[in-house]
């Protein structure tokens, strides 16, 4: 298996089902348009033999976060303006592939993309807006922290200090 940027002509978006209708609909109806319009990129995990088959996907976009939303320890030595970030807009694994560790693999890919981007552009954190409590627990299990605001399902992962 490997990662590709979504190619609507190659990847079978209609054959992807994860069990969450909003995530299925995003991949089918909006991901390609968002990619063309520079809103978000969608990274698909595909089978090496059947590259049209999407095992899972994540979408990434530029973002920012308020400095005060970071935990005090993560605010040290940062300027007093919004913190540059990458946002995981969506992350989903095909229902027949859930439980195989692909969610962690997709998240690792998102972290790697963010760290690579950090070498070219200021990026301090990776943000995730969890769809539900189960998704929030997934992100927390991978080192994400809740923001200091009331939005308990917005989480972030510091990307290091350089």
Catalytic residue IDs? 139
DSSP 13-35: STT---S-HHHHHIIIIIHHHHH
For residue 134 the two structure tokens come to 């189960």
Q: What is the three-class DSSP state of 155?
A: strand
Say how far apart CA 125 and CA 110 lie, in whole Å.
11
- Token pair recorded at residue 96: 């027949």
Q: For residues 115, 141, 82 and 132, what is the CA-based torsion angle, rounded to 10 degrees?
A: 120
């Amino acid at each position: 298996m490997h990662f590709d940027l979504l190619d609507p002509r190659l990847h079978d978006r209609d054959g992807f089902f994860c069990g969450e209708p909003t995530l299925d609909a995003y991949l089918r109806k909006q991901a390609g348009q968002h990619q063309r319009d520079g809103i978000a990129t969608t990274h698909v995990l595909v089978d090496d033999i059947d590259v049209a088959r999407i095992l899972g996907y994540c979408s990434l976009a530029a973002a920012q976060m308020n400095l005060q939303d970071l935990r005090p320890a993560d605010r040290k030595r940062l300027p007093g303006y919004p913190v540059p970030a990458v946002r995981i807009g969506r992350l989903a694994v095909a229902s027949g592939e859930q439980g195989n560790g692909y969610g962690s693999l997709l998240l690792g890919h998102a972290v790697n993309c963010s760290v690579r981007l950090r070498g070219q552009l200021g990026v301090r954190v990776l943000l995730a807006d969890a769809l539900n409590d189960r998704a929030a627990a997934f992100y927390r299990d991978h080192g994400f922290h809740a923001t200091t605001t009331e939005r308990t399902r917005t989480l972030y992962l510091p990307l290091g200090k350089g």
